[in-house]
Amino acid sequence: MKKTFLTLAVLSCITLLWSCKKEDDASPSNNNTGGATFNWTDNTGATVNADSAFYVEQYHTIKAYKGGIAQFIEINLTAGTAGTYTVGSGNAISYLNGNTLYTASTGSVVISSNTAGKMAGSFTSTGTGGSITALSGAFANMEVR
């Protein structure tokens, strides 16, 4: 009886797993429409153009992605209004490139405008993360959510 019950339980689990639909790729969709741009350069000198970038107003956070989430930048700010935000004063820049996590220790983020649901500005930083010691970039017409 125990063998029968165990066999039925295993078969039920297998059936359940096979019947589950694989979810679509969890990577962000391309949100760089309408002339939006977000690019960055690390100390290797190669410029990367994001596939998707946006500002989350509720959390004062800029997020930019390249290749799904193969490369990901997150910039946390104390506010989202035009101005200069110094890294380390409640503001942070992080960059995930494959398995390497870069964290800025100094630098600044300049928001030149945040109007009509669009944001523009630039950032520059130095920090540590594998062989990455510097990160800078710019953004324009980035969607504010």
Taking only the tens place, the pLDDT of each residue in 42-67 is: 998 989 999 999 999 999 999 999 99
Report the pLDDT averaged over residues 77-99.
Answer: 96
> Are 92 and 69 a contacting pair, CB within 8 Å?
no
Query: Tell me, what's the pLDDT at 78?
Result: 98
Q: Would the pLDDT of 27 be above 60?
A: no
Query: Tell me, what's the pLDDT at 19?
Result: 41
The domain of 71 spans: 35-144
Q: Which residue has the higher pLDDT, 113 or 7?
A: 113
Query: Tell me, what's the pLDDT at 35?
Result: 84
Nearest CA to 137 out of 124, 128, 127 is that of 124
User: Looking at the domain assignment, is residue 15 inside a domain?
Assistant: no
Q: Would the pLDDT of 93 be above 60?
A: yes
Query: Tell me, what's the pLDDT at 34?
Result: 63
Q: Which residue has the higher pLDDT, 3 or 141?
A: 141
User: Looking at the domain assignment, is residue 14 inside a domain?
Assistant: no
Query: Tell me, what's the pLDDT at 10?
Result: 38
Count of structural domains within the chain: 1
Q: Would the pLDDT of 28 be above 70?
A: no
pLDDT band per the 50, 70, 90 thresholds, residue 23: very low
User: Looking at the domain assignment, is residue 138 inside a domain?
Assistant: yes
User: Looking at the domain assignment, is residue 17 inside a domain?
Assistant: no
Report the pLDDT averaged over residues 90-108.
Answer: 97
User: Looking at the domain assignment, is residue 12 inside a domain?
Assistant: no
User: Looking at the domain assignment, is residue 85 inside a domain?
Assistant: yes
What is the average pLDDT value for the chain, to the nearest integer? 84
Report the pLDDT averaged over residues 111-116.
Answer: 98
